[in-house]
Amino acid sequence: MSLINETHDINLTSWVSCANDASTDFPIQNLPFAVFRRKDSNEEFRGGVAIGSQVLDLNVVANANIFTGLAQEAVVAANAAALNEFMGMGIEYWSALRLALSKALRAGSEHQATLETSLVSQADIEFSMPCHIGDYTDFYTSIYHATAVGSLFRPDNPLLPNYKWVPIGYHGRASSIDVSGQEFHRPKGQTKAPDAEVPSFGPAKRIDYELEMGIYLGKGNELGDAISIKNAEDHVFGFCVFNDWSARDLQAWEYQPLGPFLAKNFASTVSPWIVTTEALAPYRTAWTRDENDPQPLEYLDSEENRKQGSFDVTMDVQIETAKMRKEGVEASKVSQSSFKHSYWTVAQMVTHHTVNGCNFIPGDMLGSGTQSGPEHIEAGSMLELSRGGKEAITLNNGEQRKFLEDGDKVIMRGWCEKSGFARIGFGSVEGTLLPAK
């Protein structure tokens, strides 16, 4: 597991002065990765690192040859249109580059004059997907979400008996995942009203968001080999905030017996920055399992996982309607939760996914599943907030929603705060629902 080291020191400051603002998502203690280029340019997309309101251009860093050894090899690999090669190099390379970047960006660094020309304002860039996602698996790790949704779909049996024994997941569609700013049309498909004899076809009426964490895999494993829980996180490069859009009326008709299909594969959106597992070390927290619940089987349990297997990442959701944009009204916050509420940890997800010999490749992604907390206001979906569409949610301009309407933009954010450490954030992920084609 990634442990706290000198890169997390709260006393570190940067010669990039905007990174020293206590409210920034991207202080020197964070240093997340993305793929970017200047807006409206013909530049090649390449790797970048967030520092305050700026991006450190890794093309300049790689060509400057100011690093040595593993760090220089890593920055050359990260200077690419996709970060897969860098992600596949493994934890030693990730950590070496993070330390080198931290030292180069600290106040008083000998490399300041060289790197000042490599900064680009985040206001002047556009993002690409940070890596090629070969495969994507969506989990179901919030017991609060699983129970709430189960009670809507199966009132007599809301939580299926396998939930407390095995991390539940399904294979999702990687090709429709896009970076923040994604716009997509309301999907079409089959639905069936409770009082209808036959299903009907047309645009989905119950479009929803799902507040999730995205988990990027780094160094993979060979087909047939399992990853043990003791070194599972050595294979986890980092995290993003993830919106897994859902068509609830399509889902209700199609999900039995094989699970999600058209209700989920039309769009998913990731925040552009990947916050590394190492950066999140200070915000780890103990993972517990209620003594009255089944305890994990041996392959899913370890002392390290119980001590610090969870991550305390605060996440919130805002809705900006077309009317709000037209009138200049701020987006309305509708809920807030935390990743620490997960019933299963990242290490358990990785371990279970590979216990049968399934192979990961660099850039594969796991979705955490909707992250809902124990209180209703901590619900990570409109399905829960509206109690299945029975209660309207009132936004700050007086508009009401049970599910999303055309023109609605959903904005999700994530951040970590802990006494004795700098606040770090993930930035935001934004996506907009357009009318059906």
Any binding-site annotation on 154?
Answer: yes
Catalytic residue among 8, 111, 132, 145: 145
* Burial of residue 266 (number of CB atoms within 10 Å: 0-12, 13-18, 19+): buried
Answer yes or no: are the C-beta atoms of 75 and 100 closer than 8 Å.
yes
Q: Is 343 annotated as a binding residue?
A: no
Burial class (CB in 10 A: 0-12, 13-18, 19+), 288: exposed
- Residue 103 three-state SS: helix
CA distance linking residue 83 with residue 238, whole number of Å: 12
For residue 96, the number of C-alpha atoms closer than 13 Å in the C-beta half-sphere is: 19
**341 in active site:** no
CA 429/CA 431 separation, integer angstroms: 7
Residue 40 assigned to a binding site: no
Residue 268 annotated in ligand binding: yes
370 is in an annotated binding site: yes
CA distance 207 to 256: 19
Q: How far apart, in whole angstroms, are the C-alpha atoms of residue 98 and residue 270?
A: 22
Q: Judge whether 136 is annotated as a binding position.
A: no
Crossing angle of helices 91-105 and 69-78, rounded to 10°: 90
The token pair that represents 351 in the structure block: 């371990």
For residues 183 and 199, the answer to whether their CB atoms sit within 8 Å is: no
Q: Do the Cβ atoms of 215 and 242 come closer than 8 Å?
A: no
Lookup result for tokens 């009255």 = 292
Query: Is the CB of residue 144 less than 8 Å from the CB of residue 377?
Result: no
Phi-psi bin for 422: left (phi > 0), alpha (psi -120 to 50), beta? beta
HSE-up of residue 42 (Cα within 13 Å, Cβ side): 0
Name the residue type at position 130. P
| 140 labelled binding-site residue | yes
Q: Is 255 annotated as ligand-binding?
A: yes
283 Cβ contact partners less than 8 Å away, ≥ 6 residues apart? 311, 312, 313, 416, 418, 421, 424
Instruction: Output the known binding site for substrate.
Output: 140, 154, 251, 255, 370
Instruction: Output the known binding site for Ca(2+).
Output: 138, 210, 212, 244
Instruction: Output the known binding site for Mg(2+).
Output: 244, 264, 268
Instruction: Output the known binding site.
Output: 138, 140, 154, 210, 212, 244, 251, 255, 264, 268, 370
Q: Which residues are catalytic?
A: 145
